[in-house]
Amino acid sequence: MSDLVAVFDTTLRDGEQAAGTRLGSRDKLTVARQLARLNVDVIEAGYPASSPDDFEAVRQISREIQGPIVCALSRAVPSDIEACGAALDKAARPRIHTGIGASDIHIMGKFRDERYGRTLEEKRARILQLGVDAVKLAKRYTNDVQFYAEDAGRADTAYLFVMLEAVIDAGATVVNIPDTTGYAVPEQFGNLIRGIRENVPNIAKAVISVHCHDDLGLAVANALAGIRNGARQVEGTINGVGERAGNAAIEEVVMALRTRADYFGVRTNIDAREFHRTSRLVADSLGMAVPANKAVIGANAFSHSSGIHVDGFLKDRETYEIMRPEDVGFDESRVVLTARTGRHGLSDRLAKLGYELSKEELDQTYQRFLAVADKKQEVFDEDLIAILHDELHPVAETYQLEYMHVYSGTSAIPTATVRLRIGEETREGAAIGDGPVDAVYKSITAVTNTKVKLLRYDIRAVTSGTEAIGEVTVQLEMAGKRTVGRGASTDVIEASAKAYVDGLNKLAGAG
């Protein structure tokens, strides 16, 4: 058996399914470029049938990205598979990932219609045929077809073995064994993978892949158990993002295999030095901050505080570090960004963070950078990310905030006056509220004549100090459509207004 484990990254598909996140085609392409630098083997770019924007994202990625296989997801539905084929038509190395539920819970719960059969046995037979037909159709578009047996972690093993044998006979080159609900435990999941190797007669014709969720905090452990028992493709996401509690974190799986090569005896093609940069880019793009204590790439992963630890580390770093920070892209030396850094220094730092800007975008960002740098002793990476979020909008600006004035105090009624440009027209309005932010939002709503519901409001200081940039995230809903707006400023009221207007622009663009 090969000692090479392929890394299948699904950050752009399963990772983007995390609640409250959304990536446009431009964001997906930026992340895909960085995943290519990380040297993942497969990029699951999206689910083309889900929306025109996701279709376009998959098509752009498949046409630009060289090296990794570009994969698109589908259900075992002909129209889904055809959408994958169309989106991947110019890909150098295309893969279609199709599949269907394998557990009795999924079969009886999701396929209740009698056209799938009345009894469990009838439904199982119908689901099996749908899976086989899906693989055969996908083979018309590409020779590389991956089949997922959804909820395999809770499936009847005898039925699962039959299903896998049938889809491999139909042409599947990879069989994905997902622990869809994070229900499995490592020993059980490892035994399942070993059972597949021992009981599926034609398994040598396909690669076994493992896809584990983290509902019980066991995703990485289960994925490693699968690899230990013969899986040679592992699926996961950067930072472990994804549905519910997320997926197996790619950086944790890869570094476990690398650090404990003595135990696992396998290797990957990953350039681990790109992990830190990739992690920061994904966190920024999805708006999901990485916890400081996150394994491998958290801010504290290579920090030492306790006197005993510090003493031991200074004498011999291996006393308390099993990995070197350089191995995963941390750099102990850094450029201090100030107003005197200049465009070149700013451009270099942005490139290190994974952002490639055009000259016009760099000029726009640099002007905002100078305004912030004049107020701060040092501009941190988090400040730059907030500036980029605030300045580089891929959506058309239906509404532009031109002016805002807020009157508030301990004995005053909060009042806000705003002026917005809406197309060629300029409108002004004022409102009072429970607080300055509420007053601003009411005045913007009145001026734009929109019926928007504020579902969530979050504010955080992206760096420390009284001059820190405040980043505001809002979730808005209008006419059944939801979106996330973001704004950043050293003035939190201004940041709040920018976030609200950003959300309105996205809702207008989605109309």
List, for residues 68-94, the tens digit of each pLDDT value. Answer: 999 999 999 999 999 999 999 999 999
Q: What is the pLDDT of residue 331?
A: 65
45 or 398, which is more confident: 45
- Per-residue pLDDT tens digits for 188-230: 999 999 999 999 999 999 999 999 999 999 999 999 999 999 9
- Higher pLDDT: 94 or 362? It is 94
| Residue 306: per-residue pLDDT | 46
Question: What spatial distance separates the first Cα and last Cα of the chain, rounded to whole Å?
Answer: 53
| Averaged pLDDT score across all residues of the chain | 89
Q: Do 286 and 278 contact (CB within 8 A), yes or no?
A: no
pLDDT band at 393 (very low <50, low <70, confident <90, very high): low
The pLDDT of residue 209 is 98
- DSSP code string of 16-38: GGSTT----HHHHHHHHHHHHHH
Percent of residues, the chain, with pLDDT higher than 70 = 91
User: What pLDDT, on a 0 to 100 scale, did the predictor assign at position 303?
Assistant: 66
Angle at which helix 120-138 crosses helix 78-87, to 10 degrees, equals 20
pLDDT at 454: 93
Residue 278 DSSP SS3? helix
Residue 312 has pLDDT above 70, yes or no: no
- Which band of pLDDT confidence, cut at 50, 70 and 90, is reported for residue 252? very high
Q: How confident is the model over 479-491, as pLDDT tens digits?
A: 888 888 888 888 8
**158 by DSSP, 3-state: which?**
helix
Nearest alpha-carbon partner for 279 in 266, 292, 262: 292
Instruction: List, for residues 427-440, the tens digit of each pLDDT value.
Output: 999 999 999 999 99
Read off the pLDDT band of 334 (50, 70, 90): very low
Please identify which residue in the block is written with the tokens 């809903």: 477
Identify which of 81, 128, 75 has the alpha carbon closest to the alpha carbon of residue 104: 128
In the prediction, which pLDDT does 372 show? 80
Residue 378 confidence class, pLDDT cut points 50, 70, 90: low
pLDDT level of residue 165 (50, 70, 90 thresholds): very high
E strand residue ranges, 102-201:
145-150, 174-179
Least confident of 177-181, 324-328, 500-504, 506-510: 506-510
| Confidence category of residue 333, pLDDT binned at 50, 70, 90 | very low
Structure tokens at 81: 């598979």
The two counts, helices (H) then strands (E), for the chain are 17, 14
User: Parallel, antiparallel, or unpaired for β 233-236 and 207-212?
Assistant: parallel
Q: What is the mean pLDDT of residues 27-34?
A: 94
Q: Which residues of 398-437 are buried (b: 16+ CB within 10 A; e: fewer)?
A: bbebeebebebeeeeebbbbbbbeeeeeeeebebebeebb
* pLDDT for 336: 53
